[in-house]
A and B are shown apart, each in its own frame.
Chain A
Amino acid sequence: MIWNKEIECMSREEMRTLQGKRLKELVNRVYNNVEFYKRKMDEMGIKPSDIESIDDIVKLPFTYKTDLRDYYPFNLFAVPMKDIVRIHASSGTTGKPTTVGYTKNDIENWREVLARCLSMASISNEDIMQVSYGYGLFTGGLGVHYGAETVGCSVIPISGGNTRRQLQLMTDFGSTVLACTPSYALHLADALAENGYSLADMKLKIGIFGAEPWTENMRLELEKKWEIKAFDIYGLSEIMGPGVANDCPAHAGLHVHEDHFFPEIVDPHTKLPVVDGEEGELVFTTLTKEGIPLLRYNTRDLSTLNSEKCSCGRTTVRMKKITGRSDDMLIIRGVNLFPSQIEHVLLEMGETSAHYMLYVDRENNLDTLELKVELEEANMVETIRDLQMLSRKIEHALNSAIGLSVKVTLVEPKTIARSEGKAIRVIDNRNK
């Protein structure tokens, strides 16, 4: 079902006109209300009147995560605090948290884009949705919650964690939709049998997974394990939270709600726009945001854009599924490596679980990689030789896929730490 046909099936020209009109208003708003943008634009010699259409967006300055940290907590807000009705913040693992604020209109728009996302996944008021994203400062839980209420789902706000209880309520309440991170969905699936639950007693049919990069193979794996249809919801708190984009049943890219979030792809080094279809860093401008509007925010997520009409009937631009961030990218002996490439290989082989941890170290000035991967409980081989052949087989597959030699160590099931939110896949000991 298409929630908002008028917008989601709008012609490209009409969309660009709407985006141009909204961009002009936005630039006026930030220039007059946010000291950071006024100073940046003045330095570049740009005035709000220079922005006449959406094409002029390339004249505007970029915004980076560091800017949000530098203006912590509220100094990028474009409205007085009396107009802010909600505050969210990121965990701030690498420094100060980044803070975002929402006005009443922002919350309304958030509900709208989420309703579009959930409708894309055929979720309706017939559904019972278990929201197992964390509730609180993290945008995942509350964001999806409001959207689910908007389409009329019966929402179970269980939040993350407490695996046994998740499975119990899923069974007792007959949840038809599960919303959580893909890594937690995998963990829950693996925990089914050992906690004495069976898919036969459940009614689950749809998964709304996101908040971390994941591969198409993982999506198929989750569909198989849960016997459901799995969808990718994309978002980041700086732009709004979950609901910036979502994939439709065609799974041919994620439809961006571009009347609210204008996407661009730029070259990671030169920061210049790339030609359509080329990969680069994904940049968003929040066309309608009032609380903390951002111009050309660089997400560091790597993607491509496709503005052809989709087979589902929508005309909104599609971004390629995010499987890596330029931040997550490891440079090992000069070779770029994303953890998702490892996940892809493991799932394709299907002889171990998909639970892994990558250890990066430096010995004698050479980067070393060790992959610890869990055997499955029922997948025991009989001899040491078979186990060694299995490790070697994974090593070969990784080597041909990523061009790096990796030492593979098989470990016992459930020995790699599980995450109830975003998964940690890499431990880099090189700079310690």
Chain B
Amino acid sequence: MTIRQLSVFLENKTGHLNEILSILAKNNINIVALTIADSTDYGILRAIVSDPEKAMQALRAEHYTVKVHDILSLEMAAAPGSMSHILDLFTAADICIEYVYAFSFGSKSILMIRTDNCQKAFEIIKTNGLKPIREADLK
């Protein structure tokens, strides 16, 4: 129920995002999902890619600060209220959400969640029969 996510430290400079994208392109790495958290001086690029290890090596070789983390991933029903339903369960269990993003892959709606308590989140997913997504589901 987790997917490897790439996090890259990124200074706010014109054209900088594209430098990273072109390194990924050169290495034939496909981007499945991408989001950027920003602050005044820098941001963090988060991406789900076809080959996270290869992407990390390629970016480190160009001196980027990169890490690969495991992030919770769930499939949601493509219907109103489905995301809210999942978050209700988390809130009831007093699990705090650090960041979240969603994307669709084919016909699937996918939710990526980073919480402050991974173990507890796993339990919620199991006991409520939520549908996890694995990396293989995104090939």
The secondary structure that dominates the A interface is loop
Given A384-B44, A410-B42, A411-B11, CB of A194 within 8 Å of CB of B67: no
A414–B98 Cα distance when bound, in Å, is 30
Decide: B41 and A413 in contact? CB cutoff 8 A.
no
Partner of A414 from the list B38, B42, B63, B99 (CB cut-off 8 Å) is: B63
Decide: B67 and A387 in contact? CB cutoff 8 A.
no
A409–B39 Cα distance when bound, in Å, is 11
Decide: B61 and A194 in contact? CB cutoff 8 A.
yes
Decide: B9 and A412 in contact? CB cutoff 8 A.
yes
A385–B98 Cα distance when bound, in Å, is 9
Decide: B43 and A413 in contact? CB cutoff 8 A.
no
Interface range for A: 20 to 34
With both chains docked as a complex, state the minimum distance between the C-beta of A390 and any C-beta of chain B, in angstroms: 11
Among A172-180, A269-277, A372-380, the one that faces the other chain is: A372-380
Chain A, range 367-399, C-beta contacts under 8 Å to B = 375-385, 387-388
Would you give the 0/1 interface string for B25-40, flagging 1 where the beta carbon is closer than 8 Å to chain A?
A: 0000000000001110
Decide: A380 and B7 in contact? CB cutoff 8 A.
yes
With both chains docked as a complex, state the minimum distance between the C-beta of A189 and any C-beta of chain B, in angstroms: 15
Q: Which residues of B contact A378 (CB under 8 A)?
A: 60, 65, 67
Given A375-B9, A383-B37, A384-B37, CB of A413 within 8 Å of CB of B114: no
A387–B38 Cα distance when bound, in Å, is 11
Would you give the 0/1 interface string for B62-81, flagging 1 where the beta carbon is closer than 8 Å to chain A?
A: 01111101000000000000
Q: Which residues of A contact B60 (CB under 8 A)?
A: 377-378
A375–B60 Cα distance when bound, in Å, is 12
With both chains docked as a complex, state the minimum distance between the C-beta of A31 and any C-beta of chain B, in angstroms: 58
Q: Does B8 contact A (CB under 8 A)?
A: yes
Partner of A415 from the list B7, B11, B43 (CB cut-off 8 Å) is: B11
Decide: A383 and B99 in contact? CB cutoff 8 A.
yes
Partner of A382 from the list B7, B10, B61 (CB cut-off 8 Å) is: B7
Partner of A383 from the list B11, B41, B42, B98 (CB cut-off 8 Å) is: B98
A258–B114 Cα distance when bound, in Å, is 64
Would you give the 0/1 interface string for A409-424, flagging 1 where the beta carbon is closer than 8 Å to chain B?
A: 1111111000000000
With both chains docked as a complex, state the minimum distance between the C-beta of B95 and any C-beta of chain A, in angstroms: 16
Decide: A388 and B63 in contact? CB cutoff 8 A.
no
Decide: B9 and A380 in contact? CB cutoff 8 A.
yes
Q: Which residues of B contact A388 (CB under 8 A)?
A: 39
Partner of A409 from the list B41, B44, B61, B66 (CB cut-off 8 Å) is: B41
Q: Which residues of A contact B43 (CB under 8 A)?
A: 384
Would you give the 0/1 interface string for A193-222, flagging 1 where the beta carbon is closer than 8 Å to chain B?
A: 010000000000000000000000000000
A382–B66 Cα distance when bound, in Å, is 10
Given A378-B60, A383-B37, A384-B44, CB of A410 within 8 Å of CB of B9: yes
Decide: B69 and A382 in contact? CB cutoff 8 A.
yes
Among B8, B11, B38, residue most surrounded by chain A Cβ atoms (within 10 Å): B11
Among A413, A414, A415, residue most surrounded by chain B Cβ atoms (within 10 Å): A413
Given A382-B7, A382-B114, A412-B11, CB of A376 within 8 Å of CB of B65: yes
A414–B10 Cα distance when bound, in Å, is 13
With both chains docked as a complex, state the minimum distance between the C-beta of A191 and any C-beta of chain B, in angstroms: 11
Show 14 residue pairs from A and B whose CB-CB distance is below 8 angstroms, ordered by the A residue.
Answer: A194-B61, A380-B66, A380-B67, A382-B69, A382-B114, A383-B44, A383-B98, A387-B39, A387-B44, A388-B39, A410-B9, A410-B41, A411-B42, A413-B65
